[in-house]
Structure 1
């Protein structure tokens, strides 16, 4: 089952790992249409899950009867949590956090989980999900959404958190995300996992800290895509017709194009640093300058005309109007990938933004992902939003392989060590948030679930591998990291 399914891209990875989705639930019926194109056997439930969650359960029962789901995936909207949003109040202000009702949509996840009792539950969000304060729906005291979910399910499930940059798993972009994976306490695979000091996440495959490689750079990714060049100067050069509109970019006016062209190719620099004038060429100007010192025309920087007729610099983050770095993973693909003034959206060497196709490939969408007529009906903005909100299927496939191993006790991919810093960091965030709220340390629930004997703990971990951990790794094929 999938809740908050978006276009279904993240769930494609779990499907490739061996899971089949019976029910997909998504607020926007247009997104759900795309989702069902890629999961044709699933039943779709459109609408606000706060009103439709019981219908979701009924649809599942129609399909599966009394059988418990193997997997429940949920990716609640992250906009209320995101650090990129302004005007949302202090991170530790529960009243400010509660103003956005999306911040406690995990209550729906808890309701569905406790009714259907799936073997595994996966919840994905931005890292602030672990710590951002809201008012508890029952006692009205501050709590983070993640800690609310952990305590709500603690009787029946063991929770495992992780905070990671998904570039460590071969996703060719920097994408910091938080995951909670819940394993039902009666699963034999859980006991084996705990005994060996492992967690239900895949080992990193492209991270220097575990000695398995390095992240894929943007330059390497773009070369692997093999797509033709584009240019935002004119409509003829801004689209590659053979890609049904998906490899195309917005056309810029002359001044905007000149501003981007003035940013040196492959420099990773921004238009804020341009010391150039359209008429006079390179000039000497201070970082705060707006007008050319020679002809008094606006410099090729992010500049607007104010109400009085004068010019001023655009108010915004200095990561905007910037070329992406070629020697690092791409910047995070967001819902605003089609906006020049958003964070790091300019192509590293060409004078344009990234196309929707490039964004989807950086998000590791499969090349055969089905969009139907979404681009024609919904437009580039809506398609870019679906792409930006997706969970990269390259990661969910790896995650799904570990989850499949827990259910079948067939370890096709080695699970992550409990001592991995990605897990330790997540536990620390949860514990710190609970302490500030005057609530129980969430690690206590984990301690009570562990079998007797010596094994790693989130409260005190060692980076040394035990004999048991090596035994589990010996079950993994040599070809699979």
Structure 2
């Protein structure tokens, strides 16, 4: 716990934020929607530069968090009364989706949370936020992260949230951490929604397309092709059902084995009036999850996946007329922080600043 008497500047303090591991800008976009000036995002994936800068009033810095210096980051705080550092370190290595036989600690991404902590220690921002998969809280590296913050004088709070309670139309549990030098900080309860947003609420109004088709007015509204057997499978798939609804001739070999007979989380259709499954980096594929459209014979389009991640319908992921690869764009969308969670973080910071300054 912080033992100093830190107080933010009053009289409408100037806030400046930097987003580490920013990707295409989901966290940045949500925070900016709430009025937090995010001035820069840092990510080593060069292809994220266009979507990040095209949709957000911020500069993209193409560097690894292990390479960028604290001085480079600190320049974006010049003139600010309150400095905010946020980020979502790559989460695949902590996720249950990671191969069970993989030695997670040998993954090069494992140590990036320590790199995040190193930047915090060097920069000493006033407020910190970190978002990640819920499973991260089970590992010693997360305990080290929290202890490191507390040792540096931060009040720290963290909890696993059901993203659907904050306007994200997915079955998605995420770990959200907040830390402040000013005093206790917590999530903004004002952002909780009374009613969960459903698949129908998000994508029912989009124009119909067929598998393998791209809508002429929106190149991101593109659906992957289906093989003949997968087309036959999706035609026999019921919303909310499983591959057990198919004729036996359509079953995959893995489904016929005892080890796969109970695994029903693939080859499924979504239901209109329920939540979408957690959007992964392969949401555009009918065979990798329950991502079949509720009534059209295809998987989710890239645009539909982005909207399930609560990106606005006009969010740009590549330049107009530019050739794109479904797998590449799907990975960017699946790896993003949902914009609504970015709004939750932004609102939590604003309410915290107001509490300790008396100014909105």
Report the TM-score, using the length of structure 2 for normalisation: 0.86
Find the aligned partners of 1:67 and 1:204 in 2 and give their Cα distance. 26
Alpha-carbon separation, structure 1, partners of 2:335 and 2:321: 16
Separation in structure 2 between the aligned mates of residue 83 and residue 359 of structure 1, nearest angstrom: 21
Q: Does 1:182 align with 2:172?
A: no
2:207 paired residue number:
228
**2:252 corresponds to 1:302:** yes
Superposed displacement of residue 383, structure 1: 1.0
In the alignment, the residues of structure 2 paired with residue 408 and residue 375 of structure 1 have an alpha-carbon distance, to the nearest angstrom, of 44
Question: Is the Cα–Cα contact under 8 Å of residues 262 and 300 in structure 1 kept in the other structure?
Answer: no
Which of 67, 71, 79 lines up with 1:58 in the alignment?
71
**Deviation of the 1:371 alpha carbon:** 2.4
Partners of 1:324 and 1:41 lie apart in 2 by: 36
Match of 1:270 among 225, 232, 242: 242
Shift of the alpha carbon at 1:402? 2.3
TM-fit CA distance, 1:24: 1.3
Alignment: residue pair count? 340
Map of 1:438 onto structure 2: none
Secondary structure of the corresponding residue to residue 37 of structure 2:
coil
Deviation at 1:178, TM superposition (A): 0.6
Q: Say whether residues 1:118 and 2:125 are aligned partners.
A: yes
Higher relative contact order (CA 8 A, sep 6+): 2
**Alignment correspondent of 1:215:** 196
CA contact (8 A) 1:22 1:60 kept: no
Aligned match of 2:233 in 259, 269, 278?
Answer: 259
Residue 348 of structure 1: aligned partner: 294
2:45 is equivalent to residue 45 of structure 1: no
Q: CA deviation at 1:205?
A: 2.5
The 1:183–1:388 alpha-carbon spacing in structure 2 relative to 1, beyond 3 Å, is same
| Structure 2 residue runs without a partner (length 5+) | 1-17
C-alpha distance in 2 between matches for 1:79 and 1:393: 19
Q: For residues 417-473 of structure 1, what are the alpha-carbon distances to aligned partners after superposition, in whole Å with 9 as ceiling and x for unaligned? A: xxxxxxxxxxxxxxxxxxxxxxxxxxxxxxxxxxxxxxxxxxxxxxxxxxxxxxxxx
Checking the alignment, whether the CA contact within 8 Å between 1:121 and 1:181 is kept in structure 2 is yes
Following superposition, the deviation at residue 160 of structure 1 comes to 0.5
Specify every segment of 5 or more residues in structure 1 that has no aligned partner in the other structure, as ranges.
Answer: 90-95, 133-142, 194-198, 207-212, 277-289, 291-298, 305-310, 413-474, 477-481
TM-score, normalised to structure 1's length? 0.65
Give how far 1:66 is off.
7.6
8 Å CA contact 1:302–1:314 kept in 2: the answer is: no
> 1:433 corresponds to which residue?
none
The residue correspondences of 1:32-431 to structure 2 (distance < 5 A) are: 32-42=49-59, 44-50=60-66, 52-54=67-69, 57-65=70-78, 70-88=83-101, 96-132=103-139, 143=140, 145-155=141-151, 156-184=153-181, 187=182, 190=183, 199-203=186-190, 205-206=192-193, 213-223=194-204, 226-232=205-211, 235=212, 238-243=213-218, 245-264=219-238, 266=239, 268-274=240-246, 276=247, 299-303=249-253, 317-373=263-319, 376-409=322-355
Asked if the contact 1:165–1:177 (Cα under 8 Å) also holds between the matched residues in 2, the reply is yes
Q: Could you say which residue in structure 1 is the equivalent of 2:11? A: none
Q: Aligned partners of 2:50, 2:300: CA distance in 1, in Å?
A: 25
CA pair 69-389 structure 1, distance change in 2 beyond 3 A: farther
Tell me whether 97-106 or 312-321 shows the greater mean CA deviation.
312-321
Shift of 1:407: 1.5
Per the alignment, in what secondary structure is the counterpart of residue 47 of structure 2?
helix
Aligned residue for 1:101, secondary structure, equals: coil
* Mean CA deviation greater in 349-358 or 108-117: 108-117
Alpha-carbon distance change, 204 to 64 in structure 1, aligned in 2, over 3 angstroms: closer
Measure the CA separation in 1 of the matches of 2:197 and 2:330: 22
Query: Cα offset for 1:247?
Result: 1.0
Structure 1's 312 and 130: CA in aligned 2 closer, same or farther, altered over 3 A?
closer
Q: Which of structures 1 and 2 has the bigger CA Rg?
A: 1
Could you say if the C-alpha distance between residues 374 and 129 of structure 1 is closer, same or farther in structure 2, counting changes exceeding 3 Å? farther
